[in-house]
Amino acid sequence: MLKATKKRFDIKILVANSTVSETFELEKNIVKVHGVLVTSDKDDLLYYRGTQKIEINKEEFFPDNYESKLLMSGINVAPKQRYYDLGGVAPGNGRVQISYKDLDDGRTMFTPYRVSLYLDCEMEDEL
């Protein structure tokens, strides 16, 4: 039986104007990735300063310099509609790579922050 599940992966941005790349692995029983969402513990820094590249199974879904604000949803958005729809992609080898770039913006002052990548997945029930 298939069931919906959400996955969260965190990266830390400790230095201004830096790029942080990390690869995460999804469980083997995940069969589809339906959506993606990014959030942060300091939303304003993510919104104004962040860009990222996201790859799933070595396939690029969002290229370098794709602004994080385009993948964010505020609390005014209904919880079931917050994820950016990828259309149900197969995870393949299950590797999710995020390459996040922090860039100065005249409206913000840097302080270390966390970026969370959420994936809306469908997994095979282990029972």
Partner 1 sequence: MMKEGVIIKTISIKRQGERKHFQIRLPKDTKFIIGVEYGGRLISRTEGAIEAPAPKAKADAKLVEVIYSAIESGAVRDDKPKAFFKRNQLIGELKLQSCEEANWFYAADVFGNDANLNWGDFSQTGFPVNDFTHGNKRTEEVVKVDAESTIINGWYLDALGKSQKLDINYEIKVYVWINVEE
Q: Which residues bind partner 1 (CB under 8 A)?
A: 42-49, 62-67, 69-70, 72-77, 81-82, 84, 103-109, 111
Nearest distance, CB of residue 116 and partner 1, angstroms: 14
Round to the nearest angstrom and report the end-to-end CA distance of the chain: 8
DSSP 80-122: GG-SEEEEEE--TT-EEEEEEEE---TT-----EEEEEEEEEE
Nearest distance, CB of residue 84 and partner 1, angstroms: 7
| Among candidate residues 120, 117, 102, the one with its CA nearest the CA of residue 24 | 117
Cβ proximity to partner 1, 67 vs 122, nearer residue: 67
| In the block, residue with structure tokens 């969370």 | 116
Cβ proximity to partner 1, 70 vs 90, nearer residue: 70
Nearest distance, CB of residue 63 and partner 1, angstroms: 6
Cβ proximity to partner 1, 24 vs 66, nearer residue: 66
Cβ proximity to partner 1, 9 vs 66, nearer residue: 66
Distance CA(116)–CA(127), nearest Å, equals: 29
* Structural contact between residues 51 and 67, judged by C-beta atoms closer than 8 angstroms: yes
Nearest distance, CB of residue 28 and partner 1, angstroms: 25
